[in-house]
Structure 1
């Protein structure tokens, strides 16, 4: 699964990397320990089908048909193997795919002391990358709207298998345009993108257990342990 990630760069770098425009007036601050239920930047295709926009969305997908928003707390991830058939995700797979900008994510291992120790996982050459995501728009009885997203996961690559039995889907830059293309709606064309990323292009390093609490969101969360 993927329950925490980092996006430590500024807004301008995100917009340039993903060739996106700002949607509305909002602020982004670097995130060193992004967690579910928080509002985070997401790239999606605009209605014109030609350009991209960067939108703040809540992490934890709330399906448009949900009775209340609490279901989103359980839908922070979607399994790539079943995303085309699960009721919460199948509509979004066809019509509402997105990119979640990131520059790292966290996973935990259990040490000899029995405690869980966090690792930060990054790409060796690409500072910024994109998780494959899905989004949806939910409206409550009073007319308040929440846009929310989920991160798709897949089986682990060789390195990740030493840490966890799942990993987030990281798209290669060449695949990002296809993933966002609203003209492509056939799951048979989309699900082949949901493969493990090349382990040789990834690096792991241990960080302080400060990151265990989502209350901590500061540079110390990503500082390598010495």
Structure 2
């Protein structure tokens, strides 16, 4: 699962990675949570020969996808993650998977490791070499009965790799820069054509840094959330290591 992440790089760095220019400058965000606005990049107008027209467009969406056919979003759980293994078949994600695949820029994400039956320890999980990455995302627009349109989105997840499965059994899908065009090309690339991209990050790509439980509260949003803390090793009595950490209770 990916229930919190951070985007702390500069707008220039985001522009360089995603090749988008149509967004307003933004401050560093150290504790992004579901229902908050998140930046996504989608395929834009085709690039004309000799033109400066961007081939990708950016947009701010509510993190928590609402299917276009939903009559009342209160009838749904908060769909901030989508299982990559089943997204192409699930009614809630099928249309977005076919027509509105997206990239979500991030510097890393937070995950919680269950220790015993009542305690969860948070980790800041970042690329070992630092820098920006892009999660696989889906975007969907939902129209209220009154006609107001709300852009919403979700992050795709997959099985955790061997480095992280001791913390949690799921992780966000990371799309490599060389695969951006293929992932975003919903005109020519059907979900089955990009299924090979929906895989765990390679071993050694991420490092997990133990951090303070201050990250548990959305109101805490400073750089101190990513500072390493020392913990005494404790016996893990959870019979399912890397199971559901319960961080949904934090929202």
What's the TM-score once normalised by structure 2's chain length?
Answer: 0.84
Output aligned runs, 1:73-112, within 5 Å: 73-111=77-115
Q: CA deviation at 1:108?
A: 0.8
Residue 114 to residue 64, structure 1, CA distance change in 2 (3 Å): closer
Q: Where do 5+ consecutive residues of structure 1 fail to align?
A: none
Residue 52 to residue 126, structure 1, CA distance change in 2 (3 Å): farther
Q: CA deviation at 1:184?
A: 2.8
- Counterpart of 1:14? 14
Residue 102 to residue 71, structure 1, CA distance change in 2 (3 Å): farther
Q: CA deviation at 1:200?
A: 1.1
Bigger Rg, which one: 2
Asked if residue 133 in structure 1 is aligned to residue 137 in structure 2, the reply is yes
Residue 106 to residue 141, structure 1, CA distance change in 2 (3 Å): same
Asked if residue 42 in structure 1 is aligned to residue 24 in structure 2, the reply is no
Q: CA deviation at 1:151?
A: 0.5
Helix, strand or coil: the match of 2:225? helix
Distance 1:60 1:179 in 2: 21
Helix, strand or coil: the match of 1:98? strand
- Counterpart of 2:146? 142
8 Å Cα contact 2:17-2:177 kept in structure 1:
no
Q: Where do 5+ consecutive residues of structure 2 fail to align?
A: 48-53, 231-251
Q: CA deviation at 1:94?
A: 1.0
Residue-by-residue CA offset, 1:21-47 (whole Å, 9 max, x unaligned):
215xx4522110100000011111114
Distance 1:31 1:72 in 2: 27
Query: Which of 157, 181, 196 does residue 200 from structure 2 map onto?
Result: 196
**Which moved further from structure 2: 108-117 or 36-45?**
108-117
Q: What is the aligned length?
A: 224
- Counterpart of 2:155? 151
Residue 35 to residue 102, structure 1, CA distance change in 2 (3 Å): same
Helix, strand or coil: the match of 1:87? coil
Q: CA deviation at 1:132?
A: 0.3
- Counterpart of 1:123? 127
- Counterpart of 1:66? 70
Q: Which has the higher helix share?
A: 1
Residue 172 to residue 212, structure 1, CA distance change in 2 (3 Å): same
Q: CA deviation at 1:56?
A: 0.8
